[in-house]
Structure 1
Amino acid sequence: MAEERDILKAEIHDLEMVKGQLEQEIENRKASYDKLKERSGYKAIKKMEASLNEAYGKAKANKIAFLYDSPFKTFKKLAYEMTKFTGKNPELHATYKEKIHDFLHNALREKL
């Protein structure tokens, strides 16, 4: 029993040494990886990625602003023409007014 215990202690000691060596190797590889990231322009690439993401966000916002502005102008023109049309043909005006109201109501409910 004592002999088996001594053998197990020796194996534990050997395993602890191997574990220490592996941990040291991991530390060394992490350090070399960090150095490689700095040298290969990793930071520059990440900075460029961030600026591209920011530019993409701004472009999307500008597109939405443009798309908003276009129907806004069209609606203003439509409202102006409808007010001019009120006196000339009230029946047709009421029909178009109802159609426009239904279109806008359905579009807002379904799309947004």
Structure 2
Amino acid sequence: MNDLISDRNPLVIAAEINTIKYQTRKVLLASAIEIGRRLKEAKELLPHGEWGKWLVESCSYSKKTAEKLLRIFDAYGTQEPPNLNFTQAYILLGVPEEERAQFMAEIDVEGLSTRELQKAVKERSQALQERDQALQEKTELRQALSEQESQITQLTTERNHLKTKAEQLSKSQGEQETKAVNLEKKLESLKKSTSYEGLQKINKNLIAAQHKTNANQIAFLYESLDKTFKQLVWELSSFADKDKDTYEVYKSKVLDFLTKGLKETI
């Protein structure tokens, strides 16, 4: 008996303690998982609005504690409980399920304190957020570059179109100027030709003939007017002795007619 006692040493004792800790840890987490399983079952059976009251009266749990246990069950209830205590298992809920095993393999979870594990999970989340933000910024930058390239292409096309149009207008203007010069030369040549001089002479003769015709017309009208006026005066004079009043009336009308006609036409 004394030999057995003498075989015990600090290393053996430490091993026993760690074994008990490991077993206790597994029991605590397994117990939490099983409690969460039963809480979920009860929640599904209870009428709406009775959940909180039932927790306090039947289990002495707050809703916050119950929600933690439910989350533990949802995360670990379908697998072999990991070698974690309840707090570690709950902290690791901050890591997506599909990435949790890899994360646990990359760090020494068992060797970390609660604070160190919380820090590791937080740093991982921040790193993922920064990565996602960087990817988002990269995507936005690519989109902006794509839009810029599209605008450059569009502006280049418009510039080439305007350049082509300007060249066409310049060519058309040159052709019009050449055409105008040629027409000017033809006109000068026509003016110098005999036929042009003949046309000018004919035109002058036509104008002179027109003037002469107008003069003859005026002379004819004047002679007719003179003859008519003389006949009117003679008729009025012969009528003066016969009807003095009528004579005066028509004499006045004739004078008014002549005065008005002279004012309007001459």
TM-score (norm 2): 0.29
Q: 1:35 to 1:110 in 2, by over 3 A?
A: closer
1:81 aligns with 2:235: yes
CA deviation map 1:30-52 (0-9, x unaligned)? 6x876654546111111111111
Partners of 2:248 and 2:202 in 1: CA distance: 56
Higher relative contact order (CA 8 A, sep 6+): 2
- Cross-structure match for 1:48: 202
Partners of 1:96 and 1:84 in 2: CA distance: 13
- Cross-structure match for 1:7: none
**CA-atom RMSD, angstroms?**
2.3
Q: Percent identity?
A: 38
User: Gaps (5+ residues) in structure 2?
Assistant: 1-180
Aligned residues: 84
Q: 1:106 Cα deviation (Å)?
A: 1.1
Q: 1:88 to 1:44 in 2, by over 3 A?
A: same
Q: 1:111 Cα deviation (Å)?
A: 2.1
More helix by percentage: 1
- Cross-structure match for 1:90: 244
Partners of 1:69 and 1:43 in 2: CA distance: 39
Partners of 2:191 and 2:260 in 1: CA distance: 54
Q: 1:33 to 1:82 in 2, by over 3 A?
A: closer
Partners of 1:95 and 1:83 in 2: CA distance: 13
TM-score (norm 1): 0.64
Partners of 1:61 and 1:35 in 2: CA distance: 37
For 1:87, give the aligned amino acid: D
